[in-house]
Every structure is written in structure tokens, then in C-alpha cells.
């Protein structure tokens, strides 16, 4: 809301501080202030009134009340001189009926002998500075009073009302068409409140006036309306018809119903002053449930304890009075307070503590570090993430962060289902939550291949799936552009070693997924499935037009963490010499190396220290695997005889399979 | 000379008083010393040095020779002279060693004169991995808060509306609810579901606070880091998803003064500058009362006013306040018995400030040209 410095000054006898100082004060004690502008004889600035204070602070008067408390100044008493035509009772000319609770109060005056014309310069200027364009003197006067007091007002051409001059406030009919003052056609429904005569809707309540009763140069008599509506209802309606006005914006925040009459008198006197119009005697006022001001008792000890500073009683009382709170009773450390109806946001004691704290000044509170003796707990998940990040860094992987969204294109390419959908995605390619981190990692790969060839990236993040309910779990995934399965597997093996994860198996993956069926594996630890490793299916590669064949992995975070052995057991280091033997075995080319290794291990596992695959040679559906077997005892040096016996045993085991053959 | 001494020895040894003999040997030692030092002074290279070494210290050298000429003396006299001879021998050894080292050094220097290493050639490109800047920042923040006694707690990203809004005192249809543009999860007949069945992508990590308070008794002292989502147009400073770290401290007598101290200390630690100051401005968030916008003193200009702080000397850095009694009630705590403070700060923002990153969207770009800078 734009505030004019000069306009604001009219509420005070005393001079206000310089505009920069004033802006600072408002910022530190009430609302954020920005965008200062300088005019020939004025300044303006924008005050960002917080949503809880929209009911009382969205006006120059509202801000003046804040300034009075901040600066400890007295506000001018404003009284409006208004000359009523005592011979004509307004009730003979207008009646009002509220048919819906959404309208809390409806007050109106009738003026005759109005001359509609251009506004005087001072008025036009004031409105312009505050961002409202001038229309004519009557409409301008209503807008001016809204800026001044915060009460939205509306003026109707009296003669354009239907015959009985009766105003009815009720919900619109479903599908009812309405032409606004700005010639926009709006379709209303039964949730939208309207101000009507006996025939038509005249105004969308609290939001926008209609064409039918528009004020124009021929207008002679007017109805001035100051009403009060329930905020939530206005807010809903405004969203529904997508019209937001200075009026609806204020009503949304629940303004004070007591304000209608004050504002009505103000605007009537202003129009009278400008046009010499006659004001009919009295106000038509429908006010069904008058609000009673709330009472709250305030414990002064609590104020001090809560803020962490002692605020002098004199200051507390001064602040509360300046803000318009009435002190009803004062007993020991308790103040009994009457909360004015314009402060709807004050409902509990803590609200009052805030009022005292902010006006007194938060800068006066000295920082005090709290002393406490609660136990700090280590978060094992967060710890593990930190460790993983360090490990991946050592393995030359770069960490990426992706949005957890993907669109139709990737959903189809990766053949994904049971996805959680976002109702209001920000772009078309972000309507689903990711069920795997792989698709977006592939997207990263495509982007980065423009700049470099050898890419190793990973992400730790949540994946989402709809299985009846919504499930969310953390995974660790990575992609290597080289397509070197052994490189990636080697990295994972180092990772497992880092965390003392043993008993790892790679099992053929026959599941239907975006992975290649023949060129991927399920990773198991201690017989439990923890993740997958391998290549993408040809379908994905083709759908995404990928001209490389990356290799990737995805591991469930919780499962992985569950397999960590907390403390690594030190393995005794033997100083006895290590003996090596090389064995070459010829097997059919579809045999997994692990099968052969398992057979070797089964023969004499105790003394076998390590088995390395030295070489693989494939020739017409047969492959020759050359292993180097390291033998060592923890107790003694092995003799040649013993070593040969073990070698024979291994060869014996290997040749039990009729398809396998030892290369001599 | 040598012959003459020997002659003297042969003919007069029994006749002369041994004390005279001792005097003569004494003189001889003195002569030997002067002679040797003189030669060492003049020696020019390692070969010359070897000759001197042999002449005096060798098996058949002059010192040995003199030593064997003392056989006829009393043991006491021998001991005395022996000490002198030993001293001489040590002195010469030391001098020779020193000379040797110098000759060697200058020899090597001469050889090295032709050496050349281009120290300006760029180093080899060594591959290493990189941790995402938000990960490192998040960890740094968690560590700082751990030092102040806050435990790290996590929570779900897909959250029900109760824990994301209602429990936090966001009334339905209240303008405050619109302050945070929310991503809603598509659900059948959503409107008919209860608040605990309707899901959103969490708009803040306050859901962790509500969940934690439901299950724990005060004192509660936690920080809640995590990814949050806002359904809004992105620009240099706004992202659809970003990281937050929120703090919550609930105990019997927690005050605004405590909040000030914790936040000030935290910023001083993070920016490694004990001069960092903060100020609280009144603000509104439904879950706190009073609510604050927290500004920190601008470190770029030392509060003199610069482009970073738009001349203000202060930078808006985080939001916080005293936990609203309704939040306590909603989470099963008695607001009459406890008070507390809560605050939240954007991890992205803090990372940007420290590394001078100019656009928040880099963090989720997946662009290695950016990520490999960290």
C-alpha cells in the first residue's frame, strides 16, 4: 500500500520526523517499507502490511495509528462537519435487507443535488500518488476515504435503482451474468454474494461495481454504501471470478464493522463540500450481530520472561494506550485490557506481548545464550550421507541435485508406472514425482555430454511411488558415461569396502524395468536385495536418442545402511611368504566368472588368500579364464608339496564339470 | 728432523730426565698441529685432502708414530700426552670432514649448474570427485548448530496438509495459506479427504517440527534440514525447490533474547566473523507470535551501504519467532508450561552468499561446469 507523507501528516499536530527516519521507524517497529518516491512537495513509500494486520492497517489512518505509538505522538481527533437535510428522512427513500450472513453490516446514505464532474486538483493528485486514477468527483471521494480510513465505499446512481428503491444483499444465482464497471462480463454462481435491487445484481459484494447503477454526468442523486463482509467469503469469490480490487483486498482481511458509519459521514461531507449536495437525514444501517470488544488479561511478568527484558510498566501502559487498547483494571502484575474491534488479530496474550515488544524495540533486547542440558543425538542417516559423499568424491564422482519431477516423455521412455502426480505442475515436463533418480541423471548426462566425454555423476535423494498410499524412500544412484561395467562395479566394490559391507552377490536381473534384461544385475548383500547395476534397455536408449550406452546403479539407502558393519575387524597380517599359482580354465562363454571362482574357493578356502582374474580370452563360444591364486598360511611357510596338493585339488574340482577344461 | 729426534731418543733416553722428554714431545705435538692446520688451510681439492688425511691420521701417520714413541714413559705421563694427541687427532678429523663436505658440495653444485626444470609448466590434470555445494553448506550448518546443542532431524517431503499447514496454525482459507505457493498431489476426490489424508509437497521443513513435537517431550532442541517446494515462477533468486534448515527450541523459559543470541552466534560462525550483528523486524508467520524478519549486518561494506545491501547496511537473511501457542496445542504440548522459538533459513541463499553464486538455478542445473567448481 502506497502512503503519502503529506497525507499521513494530516493526522498529527506535531511534525513527523524526516521521511527517511520515518520509514526506518516503521520498518523496525511495524511493517517493511520500500520504494520511496519524491514529489515536488511530498514523498510516498510503499508499506507492506502483513496479512494479519490487513484489517486495521491498510489505510493512512491505520499507519498513522502505528506512527503515534512508535513516535509517542497524539493523533488528531477528527470530526466531520456534515449538514443533514433534517426534513428528509433517508428511510423514506431507501431500505436494505441482508439475506446472507456473509454481510456483517450494511450502512448507506442518500445524497441529492449532486453534481458529477471532474475532481479538484488536490484530490486527483492525492489519488494518483497512491496509485488510483481519477474518474469523477463522487467516485474519487469514495476512493479517497478508502485510502484515508481503510473502508471501501461504493456510490450508486439512485435513480437507476429499480422502483422500490430496495437494496438486497444475497447470493447470486448460478450462471447469472454480470457486467462490471469496466465492461467485463462475469458469470456468477450461488457462492458469490451480490448487492441487488429487486431486479438485478448491482455490485459483486466487496469486489466490483456493476454497469447498471454507474455514476455519470447526468447523475443527480446517489446512494453511498459502506458495508462490511466476511473476509474468507470475499477472498473465495475474488479468486473464483479472478478479480482482485483495492476493495476486495481490504475486505479479505476482515475490517472493523464499526468503521462503516465513520467512513460514510466522512465521504458524505467530502462530496457535500465539493458539490454542495444535500445529505438526507440519517443512515440506513443493517447491522445484525454487533460485535463486542474482546477482553484479555496480560501478565506483566510473562511479558518480561517471554521477551527476555524488563519493560518498564509506564512504557507498557503508554504503548498499549497509543495503540488504542483500553486498560480496564490494573492489579499487581496483571492488566485487564479491552481490545478495540479494529484489532481482530489480537486474540491471545502473546499477541499483546508482540505489540509491546515491537513498539518498545526489539533492538533493546540483549542476546542471552540459552543454557540447557539436553542430549545431542547423532543422526545416523545424515552421518551416512556425509560419509557417502566423501566416498563418492574419492571415487571421482560428482554429486548432482535434480528436481524430483519428470514429464510424460521420460515416463514413457523409461516405461514407468504407479507414479505420484502433481496437481499443479509448474511446467508440462514436471507433472510426476520421480520413482527413480536414473531418468534425471540420464538427462544430466545428455546435457553434459555437450561439454565433456567422461562423466561420472551420482545423486542421493528421495523417490516416490503410489502403492495404494504414497511411499517415499531415499536412494543412491549414479551413472557412468564410459559404459565400462567393470569400472562402475569396481567403484561400488570400493564403496562397500569403505563401509565394511560384505557378502555381496550379483544376480541376473530378469525383472521388467528400464534396465537391460541381459546386461544388468540385482545386487544382494547377505542375501538381501539392495539395488541394481547395469545398462539401460535398448528401448530407453532409442526413445531418448542416446548415442552412448551408459552404465548405472541405484541402491536403496536404508537397505545399504542396514548392512554396514559398525566396526571393522582387524585381519591378522601374516608374515609368511605368499605362494602363487596360475590356473587357466576353458568354459562355455555364457558361464559367469563368479561360478568358476566359487568352485575354486570351495576346494581349499582356508589357505586361499586372494583370487585374481588375470586374463579372459574368448574364442568361438569358449572362453579361457586365467586366474592367479594366492596361497598363504598364518602359521608357517607353505611347502611346495602342500601347494601342489592344493592346486591339484582345485583342478580336480574344476574338472568335475564336464563342460569345463583345464588348459595345460 | 725425524731422524734427529730418534737419535736423541736413543742416546739420551736413559740419561735425561723424563720430564724433559715429555717437554720435547709436547713441543712436537704443537708443531704437528701447526703444520697440519697450515696444510689444511692451503689444500685445494679432495685428492689433496686425502693425502693430508693419510699423512697425519693414517695407520702409519704422524700421530700414530708419535704415540708409539711414548712407550718408555711412565703411565701417568703417557696418559697426559695421550689425551693431547687424541685431541689433536679429533681436531684434524673434524677439520678434514668439514673440508670434505665443502669440496663435495661445490663439486655437486658445479654439476647441477646445467640442470633445468620448467616450474611453470601446468600440472597434470588429476581427476577427482565433487560434493554438491548445497551438501557442503548443509553439513556446515548442521555442524554449527550441533555445536550449540541442536540435534539434526529429518522428515518426509510428501506431507499431509495437517502437518504442513493446519498444525502450524495456518487456518483454512486464510490469506496466510497463500503466502506459500503449494504443489498439491493429485488425489481422487481430494476435497472430501481429511487434512491428514490430503498431500502436498512440503512448503517448509516445519513439518519436521510438528512431527517431532508430537512425539517428544521438552526440552526440544532440533534443526530440520531438507528440500522444500514452492509452486512459483523461478528467477535468479527463486526456485521451485530449494533447501531450508529450520530450528526449534522448546523449554520452560525460552525467550526472544535466547533467539537473538542463537541466531547471532550462528551467523557469526557461518560467516567466520565475530562482528556480525542481527536485528529483528516485526513480521508475520502464522506459526509464530511474535514473528520476525531477521536482518544481518552487511559484511561486504561493513554497514556503510553498498549494492549488495542496496545501501541499507542490512541484509534480510532469515525468518523466525516465538512458537505460537496454537502450534503447541496442535502438537500435544501445553502452552502454559513451555515457550519456544523457531526459525528458518534458506541453505541455497547462504551458499550463494558465501560463494558469490549469482543465480539460484545453478544448484539444480546438473551442469558439471558449475558443480566442478566446488
Chain B residues in contact with A56 (beta carbon < 8 A): none
Give B119→chain A minimum CA distance, Å.
Answer: 27
A56-65, pLDDT tens digit by residue?
999 999 999 9
User: Residue A620: its pLDDT value, please?
Assistant: 85
- Alpha-carbon Rg of chain B, whole angstroms? 44
Element of type H or E holding A296: strand A294-299
Q: Which of B83, B112, B141 is the last residue of a domain?
A: B112
Residue-range definition of the domain harbouring residue B16: 2-112
Averaged over A44-69, what is the pLDDT?
95
Residue B76: pLDDT band with limits 50, 70, 90: confident
* Cβ <8 Å between A448 and B127: no
Give A429→chain B minimum CA distance, Å.
Answer: 13
**Could you tell me if residue B124 is inside a domain?**
no
A407-440, pLDDT tens digit by residue?
999 999 999 999 999 999 988 889 999 999 999 9
Same domain, B240 and B337: yes
Span of A218-232, A402-416, A419-433, B161-175 with lowest mean pLDDT: B161-175
Same domain, B74 and B219: no
* Cβ <8 Å between A455 and B368: yes
A577-589, pLDDT tens digit by residue?
999 999 999 999 9
User: Residue B9: its pLDDT value, please?
Assistant: 58
* Cβ <8 Å between A462 and B339: no
Averaged over A191-206, what is the pLDDT?
95
**Could you tell me if residue B127 is inside a domain?**
no
Could you tell me the domains of chain A?
A: 2-71 (3.30.56.10), 84-287 (3.50.40.10), 294-364 (3.30.56.10), 380-562 (3.30.930.10), 579-663 (3.30.70.380)
Give A427→chain B minimum CA distance, Å.
Answer: 10
SS3 of residue A378 by DSSP: coil
> Hey, of A23, A52, A440, which one would you mutate to test binding to chain B, going by the most B CBs within 10 A of its CB?
A52
Chain A residues in contact with B190 (beta carbon < 8 A): 423
Give the burial string for B74-100 (b: 16+ CB within 10 Å, else e). Answer: eeebbebbeeebeebbeebeebbeebe
Residue B95: pLDDT band with limits 50, 70, 90: very high
User: Residue B194: its pLDDT value, please?
Assistant: 93
**Nearest CB to B142; choose among A353, A382, A425:** A382
Element of type H or E holding A169: strand A166-171
CB pairs under 8 A between A and B: 220
> Hey, of B186, B211, B234, which one would you mutate to test binding to chain A, going by the most A CBs within 10 A of its CB?
B186
Longest dimension (CA), chain A: 134
Residues in CB range of A88: below 8 A, 6 or more apart: A112, A278, A280, A281
Averaged over A116-143, what is the pLDDT?
95
Same domain, B144 and B263: yes
A447-500, pLDDT tens digit by residue?
999 999 999 999 999 999 998 889 999 999 999 999 999 999 999 999 999 999
* Cβ <8 Å between B256 and A306: yes
How many CB atoms are located within 10 Å of the residue A354 CB?
24
User: Residue B7: its pLDDT value, please?
Assistant: 53
* Contact residues, A window 96-135, toward B, CB-based 8 Å cutoff: none
What would the grid cell of residue A238 be? 475474488
User: Residue A79: its pLDDT value, please?
Assistant: 74
**Nearest CB to A396; choose among B129, B156, B257:** B129
Same domain, B143 and B253: yes
Averaged over A17-42, what is the pLDDT?
95
User: Residue B175: its pLDDT value, please?
Assistant: 56
* Cβ <8 Å between B142 and A455: no
What would the grid cell of residue B229 be? 517446494
**Could you tell me if residue B125 is inside a domain?**
no
Provide the strand spans (E) within chain B. Answer: 151-152, 158-160, 199-201, 220-229, 241-251, 278-283, 288-297, 314-323, 339-346
A162-183, pLDDT tens digit by residue?
999 999 999 999 999 999 999 9
* Cβ <8 Å between A253 and B257: no
**Could you tell me if residue B128 is inside a domain?**
no
Residue A606: pLDDT band with limits 50, 70, 90: confident
Task: Say which CATH number the domain at B195 has.
Answer: 3.30.930.10
* CA-wise closest residue to A478 among A438, A531, A511: A438
**Nearest CB to A354; choose among B175, B279, B290:** B290
* CA-wise closest residue to A196 among A214, A210, A175, A216: A210
How would you write A70-108 as a 3-class SS string? Answer: HHCCCECCCCCCCCEEEEEEHHHCCEEEECCCCEEEEEE
Residue A82: pLDDT band with limits 50, 70, 90: confident
User: Residue A578: its pLDDT value, please?
Assistant: 93
**Could you tell me if residue B118 is inside a domain?**
no
The DSSP secondary-structure symbol of A324 reads: T
* Cβ <8 Å between A368 and B257: yes
Same domain, B154 and B95: no
* Cβ <8 Å between B322 and A306: yes
Chain A residues in contact with B288 (beta carbon < 8 A): none
* CA-wise closest residue to A372 among B247, B148, B151: B148
* Cβ <8 Å between A308 and B146: no
Predicted confidence (pLDDT) at residue A372 exceeds the cutoff of 80:
no
Span of A49-63, A443-457, A635-649 with lowest mean pLDDT: A635-649
Chain A residues in contact with B232 (beta carbon < 8 A): 426
Q: How far apart are CA A458 and CA A552, in angstroms?
A: 9
Q: Which of B112, B142, B170 is the last residue of a domain?
A: B112
Give B228→chain A minimum CA distance, Å.
Answer: 11
Predicted confidence (pLDDT) at residue A33 exceeds the cutoff of 70:
yes
User: Residue B179: its pLDDT value, please?
Assistant: 60
User: Residue B18: its pLDDT value, please?
Assistant: 65
**Nearest CB to B129; choose among A309, A357, A397:** A397
* CA-wise closest residue to B255 among B319, B320, B205, B318: B320
What would the grid cell of residue A432 be? 510426476
Chain B residues in contact with A450 (beta carbon < 8 A): none
Chain B residues in contact with A462 (beta carbon < 8 A): 157
SS3 of residue A199 by DSSP: coil
Same domain, B29 and B152: no
* CA-wise closest residue to B155 among B200, B209, B198: B209
Predicted confidence (pLDDT) at residue B178 exceeds the cutoff of 70:
no
Same domain, B73 and B170: no
**Could you tell me if residue B122 is inside a domain?**
no
**Could you tell me if residue B70 is inside a domain?**
yes
In chain B, the residue whose alpha carbon lies closest to the alpha carbon of A362 is B280
Residue B12: pLDDT band with limits 50, 70, 90: low
Q: What pairing do the DSSP bridges indicate for beta strands A84-89 and A278-281? A: parallel
Same domain, B87 and B189: no
User: Residue A626: its pLDDT value, please?
Assistant: 96
Instruction: Name the pTM for this structure.
Output: 0.86
Q: Which of B112, B147, B164 is the last residue of a domain?
A: B112
ipTM for the complex?
A: 0.89
For chain A, the average pLDDT equals 94
Q: How far apart are CA B291 and CA B162, in angstroms?
A: 21
Decide if A457 touches B, using CB distance below 8 A. yes
Chain B residues in contact with A66 (beta carbon < 8 A): none
Span of A159-168, A361-370, A540-549, A600-609 with lowest mean pLDDT: A600-609
User: Residue B78: its pLDDT value, please?
Assistant: 81
Averaged over A548-553, what is the pLDDT?
96
* Cβ <8 Å between A398 and B254: no
- Name the domain count of chain B: 2
* Cβ <8 Å between A308 and B152: no
Provide the strand spans (E) within A185-230. Answer: 185-187, 193-196, 201-204, 208-209, 222-229
Chain B residues in contact with A451 (beta carbon < 8 A): 368-369
CA dihedral A197, A201, A202, A208 (to 10 degrees): 150
**Nearest CB to A29; choose among B241, B282, B289:** B282
Averaged over A384-395, what is the pLDDT?
97
* CA-wise closest residue to A175 among A164, A185, A165: A185
Q: How far apart are CA A141 and CA A268, in angstroms?
A: 9
**Nearest CB to A424; choose among B184, B253, B258:** B184
* Cβ <8 Å between B282 and A30: yes
User: Residue A604: its pLDDT value, please?
Assistant: 67
Span of A68-82, A115-129, B356-370 with lowest mean pLDDT: A68-82
**Could you tell me if residue B96 is inside a domain?**
yes
Give A433→chain B minimum CA distance, Å.
Answer: 9
Chain A residues in contact with B368 (beta carbon < 8 A): 398, 448, 451-452, 455, 457
If you search the block for the grid coordinates 547471532, which residue do you land on? B264
Same domain, B12 and B140: no
In chain B, the residue whose alpha carbon lies closest to the alpha carbon of A251 is B175
In chain B, the residue whose alpha carbon lies closest to the alpha carbon of A470 is B158
User: Residue B177: its pLDDT value, please?
Assistant: 67
> Hey, of A240, A308, A453, A487, which one would you mutate to test binding to chain B, going by the most B CBs within 10 A of its CB?
A308
**Nearest CB to A365; choose among B220, B231, B256:** B256
Same domain, B83 and B159: no
User: Residue B232: its pLDDT value, please?
Assistant: 86
Averaged over A241-263, what is the pLDDT?
94
* Contact residues, A window 336-375, toward B, CB-based 8 Å cutoff: 348, 350-351, 353-354, 357-358, 362-363, 365-370, 372-374
Decide if A393 touches B, using CB distance below 8 A. yes
Averaged over B97-122, what is the pLDDT?
93
> Hey, of B127, B130, B232, which one would you mutate to test binding to chain A, going by the most A CBs within 10 A of its CB?
B130
Element of type H or E holding B63: helix B62-68
Same domain, B175 and B300: yes
User: Residue A512: its pLDDT value, please?
Assistant: 79
Same domain, B88 and B183: no
Chain B residues in contact with A457 (beta carbon < 8 A): 366, 368
What would the grid cell of residue A592 be? 559367469
For chain B, the average pLDDT equals 90
Chain B residues in contact with A354 (beta carbon < 8 A): 282, 289-291
User: Residue A354: its pLDDT value, please?
Assistant: 97
* Cβ <8 Å between B265 and A369: yes
Amino acid at each position: 500500500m502506497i502512503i503519502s507523507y503529506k497525507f499521513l501528516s494530516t493526522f498529527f499536530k506535531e511534525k513527523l520526523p524526516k521521511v527517511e527516519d520515518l520509514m526506518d521507524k516503521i520498518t523496525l517497529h511495524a511493517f517493511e517499507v520500500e520504494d520511496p518516491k519524491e514529489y515536488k512537495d511530498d514523498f510516498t513509500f510503499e508499506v507492506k502490511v502483513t496479512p494479519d494486520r490487513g484489517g486495521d492497517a491498510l489505510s493512512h489512518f491505520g499507519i498513522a495509528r502505528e506512527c503515534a505509538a512508535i513516535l509517542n505522538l497524539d493523533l488528531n481527533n477528527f470530526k466531520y462537519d456534515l449538514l443533514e437535510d433534517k426534513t428528509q428522512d433517508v428511510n423514506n427513500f431507501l431500505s436494505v435487507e441482508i439475506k446472507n450472513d456473509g454481510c456483517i453490516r450494511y450502512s448507506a446514505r442518500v445524497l441529492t443535488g449532486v453534481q458529477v464532474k471532474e475532481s479538484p486538483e488536490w484530490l486527483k493528485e492525492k489519488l494518483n500518488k497512491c496509485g488510483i486514477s481519477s474518474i469523477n468527483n463522487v467516485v474519487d471521494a469514495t476512493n479517497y476515504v478508502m485510502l484515508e480510513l481503510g473502508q471501501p465505499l461504493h456510490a450508486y446512481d439512485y435513480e437507476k435503482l429499480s422502483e422500490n428503491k430496495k437494496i438486497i444483499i444475497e447470493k447470486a444465482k448460478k450462471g447469472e451474468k454480470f457486467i462490471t464497471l469496466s465492461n467485463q462480463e462475469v458469470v456468477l454462481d450461488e457462492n458469490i454474494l451480490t448487492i441487488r435491487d429487486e431486479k438485478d445484481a448491482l455490485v459483486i459484494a466487496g469486489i466490483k461495481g456493476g454497469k447498471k447503477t454507474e455514476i455519470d454526468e447526468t447523475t443527480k442523486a446517489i446512494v453511498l454504501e459502506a458495508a462490511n463482509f466476511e473476509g474468507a467469503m470475499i477472498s473465495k469469490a475474488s479468486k473464483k471470478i479472478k478479480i482482485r480490487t483495492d476493495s476486495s483486498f481490504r475486505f479479505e482481511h476482515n475490517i472493523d464493522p464499526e468503521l462503516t458509519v465513520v467512513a460514510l459521514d466522512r465521504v458524505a461531507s467530502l462530496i457535500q463540500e465539493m458539490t454542495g449536495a444535500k445529505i438526507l437525514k440519517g443512515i440506513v444501517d443493517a447491522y445484525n450481530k454487533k460485535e463486542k470488544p474482546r477482553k484479555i488479561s496480560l501478565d506483566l511478568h510473562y511479558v518480561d520472561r517471554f521477551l527476555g527484558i524488563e519493560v518498564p510498566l509506564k512504557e507498557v501502559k503508554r504503548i498499549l494506550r497509543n495503540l488504542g487498547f483500553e486498560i480496564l483494571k490494573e492489579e499487581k502484575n496483571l492488566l485487564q485490557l479491552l481490545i478495540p474491534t479494529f484489532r481482530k488479530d489480537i486474540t491471545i496474550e502473546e499477541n499483546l506481548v508482540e505489540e509491546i515488544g515491537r513498539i518498545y524495540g526489539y533492538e533493546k533486547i540483549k542476546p542471552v545464550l540459552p543454557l540447557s542440558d539436553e542430549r545431542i543425538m547423532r543422526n545416523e542417516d545424515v552421518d551416512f550421507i556425509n560419509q557417502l559423499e566423501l566416498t563418492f568424491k574419492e571415487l571421482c564422482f560428482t554429486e548432482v541435485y535434480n528436481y524430483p519431477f519428470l514429464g510424460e516423455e521420460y515416463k514413457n521412455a523409461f516405461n514407468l508406472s504407479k507414479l505420484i502426480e502433481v496437481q499443479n505442475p509448474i511446467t508440462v515436463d514436471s507433472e510426476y514425482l520421480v520413482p527413480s533418480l536414473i531418468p534425471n541423471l540420464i538427462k544430466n548426462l545428455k546435457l553434459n555430454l555437450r561439454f565433456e566425454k567422461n562423466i561420472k555423476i551420482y545423486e542421493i535423494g528421495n523417490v516416490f511411488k503410489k502403492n495404494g498410499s504414497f511411499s517415499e524412500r531415499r536412494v543412491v544412484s549414479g551413472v557412468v558415461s564410459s559404459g565400462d561395467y567393470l569400472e562402475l562395479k569396481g567403484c561400488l566394490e570400493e564403496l562397500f569396502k569403505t563401509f565394511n559391507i560384505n557378502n555381496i552377490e550379483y544376480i541376473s536381473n530378469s525383472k521388467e524395468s528400464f534396465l537391460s534384461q541381459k546386461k544388468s544385475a540385482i545386487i544382494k548383500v547377505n542375501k538381501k536385495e539392495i539395488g541394481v547395476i547395469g545398462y539401460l534397455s535398448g528401448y530407453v536408449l532409442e526413445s531418448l536418442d542416446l548415442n552412448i550406452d551408459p552404465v548405472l546403479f541405484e541402491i536403496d539407502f536404508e537397505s545399504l545402511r542396514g548392512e554396514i558393519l559398525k566396526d571393522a575387524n582387524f585381519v591378522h597380517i601374516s608374515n609368511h611368504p605368499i605362494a602363487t599359482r596360475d590356473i587357466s580354465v576353458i568354459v562355455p562363454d555364457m558361464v559367469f566368472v563368479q561360478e568358476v571362482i566359487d568352485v575354486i574357493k570351495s576346494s581349499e578356502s582356508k589357505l586361499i588368500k586372494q583370487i585374481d582374474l588375470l586374463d579372459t580370452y574368448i574364442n568361438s563360444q569358449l572362453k579361457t579364464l586365467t586366474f592367479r591364486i594366492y596361497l598363504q598360511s598364518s602359521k608357517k611357510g607353505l611347502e611346495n608339496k602342500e601347494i601342489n596338493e592344493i592346486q591339484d585339488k582345485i583342478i580336480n574340482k574344476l574338472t568335475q564339470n564336464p563342460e569345463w577344461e583345464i588348459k595345460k | 728432523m725425524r731422524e734427529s729426534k730418534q737419535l736423541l731418543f736413543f742416546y739420551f733416553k736413559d740419561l735425561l730426565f723424563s720430564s724433559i722428554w715429555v717437554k720435547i714431545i709436547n713441543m712436537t705435538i704443537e708443531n704437528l698441529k701447526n703444520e697440519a692446520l697450515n696444510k689444511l688451510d692451503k689444500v685445494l681439492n679432495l685428492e689433496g685432502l686425502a693425502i693430508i688425511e693419510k699423512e697425519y691420521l693414517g695407520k702409519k701417520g704422524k700421530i700414530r708414530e708419535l704415540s708409539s714413541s711414548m712407550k718408555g714413559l711412565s703411565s701417568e705421563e703417557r696418559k697426559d700426552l695421550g689425551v693431547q694427541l687424541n685431541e689433536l687427532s679429533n681436531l684434524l678429523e673434524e677439520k678434514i670432514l668439514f673440508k670434505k663436505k665443502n669440496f663435495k658440495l661445490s663439486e655437486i653444485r658445479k654439476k647441477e649448474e646445467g640442470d633445468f626444470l620448467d616450474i611453470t609448466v601446468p600440472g597434470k590434470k588429476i581427476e577427482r570427485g565433487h560434493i554438491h555445494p548445497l551438501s557442503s553448506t548443509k553439513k556446515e550448518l548442521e555442524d554449527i548448530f550441533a555445536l550449540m546443542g541442536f540435534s539434526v532431524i529429518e522428515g518426509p517431503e510428501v506431507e499431509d496438509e495437517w502437518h504442513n499447514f493446519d498444525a502450524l496454525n495456518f487456518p483454512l482459507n486464510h490469506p496466510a495459506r497463500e503466502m506459500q505457493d503449494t504443489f498439491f498431489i493429485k488425489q481422487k476426490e481430494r476435497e472430501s479427504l481429511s487434512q491428514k489424508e490430503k498431500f502436498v509437497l512440503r512448503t517448509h521443513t516445519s513439518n519436521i517440527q510438528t512431527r517431532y513435537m508430537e512425539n517428544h517431550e521438552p526440552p526440544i532442541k532440533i534443526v530440520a534440514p531438507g528440500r522444500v517446494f514452492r509452486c512459483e515462477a523461478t528467477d535468479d533468486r527463486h526456485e521451485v525447490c530449494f533447501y531450508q534448515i529450520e530450528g526449534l527450541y522448546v523449554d520452560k523459559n525460552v525467550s526472544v533474547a535466547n533467539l537473538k543470541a542463537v541466531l547471532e552466534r550462528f551467523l557469526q560462525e557461518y560467516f567466520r566473523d565475530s562482528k556480525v550483528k542481527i536485528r529483528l523486524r516485526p513480521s508475520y508467520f502464522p506459526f509464530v507470535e511474535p514473528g520476525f524478519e531477521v536482518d544481518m549486518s552487511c559484511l561486504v561494506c561493513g554497514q556503510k551501504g553498498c549494492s549488495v545491501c542496496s545501501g541499507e547496511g542490512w541484509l534480510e537473511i532469515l525468518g523466525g519467532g516465538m512458537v505460537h501457542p496454537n502450534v503447541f496445542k496442535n502438537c500435544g504440548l501445553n502452552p502454559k508450561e513451555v515457550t519456544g522459538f523457531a526459525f528458518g533459513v534458506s541453505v541455497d541463499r547462504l551458499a550463494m552468499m558465501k560463494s558469490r553464486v549469482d543465480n539460484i538455478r545453478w544448484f539444480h542445473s546438473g551442469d558439471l561446469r558449475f558443480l566442478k567448481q566446488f
